[in-house]
């Protein structure tokens, strides 16, 4: 069975976007970038919800004409060649070697199959739904040293409690902190 690995950037006060949807605050230093690339290498499929898919597909196909950041230039060809899955009730098809599934049940069936792990990047709606169904196997949360004061929370309020076990923590580039958790054994 494949794993679903959730990789996300958050502020110290628990937001994944600023009050106006800003995502200009994460800093990808060399160590954090290298860690992200190791996650990409161990997964065979990138997984997105519709909102993050729209952002990713609008940026990565042509990133070399937009950015000269070393992380962007290294990741762009990986993004283009890696198969992707988008979970959406409204999207019918997508480019860039992308499969669209329309329900959590379809995604759960994909997870049950063979192959490399699925890497869910960013977002909160899909991560929250998958967490409620017990489908996320690892949480890789990178905390950036910024207080956003509002915006979109990493996980919305009102969800059921889920105990987690810390598997790893470390600091990258003297700036960001990674925490890796797995669901606690019942």
In the prediction, which pLDDT does 185 show?
A: 86
- Interval 79-113: pLDDT, tens: 999 999 999 999 998 999 999 999 999 999 999 98
In the prediction, which pLDDT does 174 show?
A: 97
Residue 126 maps to a domain: yes
* Segments forming the whole domain that contains residue 149: 4-13+31-156
Helix, strand, coil content of the chain in percent (nearest 5): 30, 30, 40
Residue 170 maps to a domain: no
Q: Determine the distance from the C-alpha atom of residue 4 to the mean position of all C-alpha atoms in its chain, rounded to a whole number.
A: 10
Residue 185 maps to a domain: no
Percent share of the chain, pLDDT over 70: 99
Strand-strand pairing, 84-87 and 164-172: unpaired
Output the six-digit token pair for 72: 């962007």
pTM of this structure: 0.94
Query: Residue 91 sits in a domain of what CATH number?
Result: 3.40.430.10
Cβ-contact 48, 85 below 8 angstroms: yes
Residue 151 maps to a domain: yes
Residue 161 maps to a domain: no
Residue 25 maps to a domain: no
Residue 84 maps to a domain: yes
């Amino acid at each position: 069975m494949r794993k679903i690995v959730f990789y996300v950037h958050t502020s110290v006060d628990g937001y994944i976007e600023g009050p106006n949807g800003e995502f200009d605050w994460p800093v990808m230093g060399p160590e954090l970038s290298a860690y992200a690339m190791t996650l990409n290498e161990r997964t065979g499929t990138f997984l997105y919800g519709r909102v993050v898919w729209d952002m990713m597909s609008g940026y990565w196909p042509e990133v070399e004409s937009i950015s000269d950041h070393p992380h962007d230039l290294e990741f762009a060809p990986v993004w283009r060649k890696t198969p992707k899955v988008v979970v959406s009730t409204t999207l019918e098809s997508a480019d860039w070697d992308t499969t669209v599934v329309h329900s959590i049940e379809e995604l759960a069936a994909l997870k049950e199959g063979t192959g490399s792990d699925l890497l869910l990047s960013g977002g909160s709606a899909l991560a929250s739904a998958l967490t409620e169904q017990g489908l996320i196997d690892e949480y890789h949360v990178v905390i950036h040293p910024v207080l956003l004061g509002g915006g979109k929370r990493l996980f919305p309020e009102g969800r059921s409690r889920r105990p987690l076990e810390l598997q790893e923590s470390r600091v990258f580039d003297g700036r960001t902190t990674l925490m890796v958790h797995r669901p606690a054994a019942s």
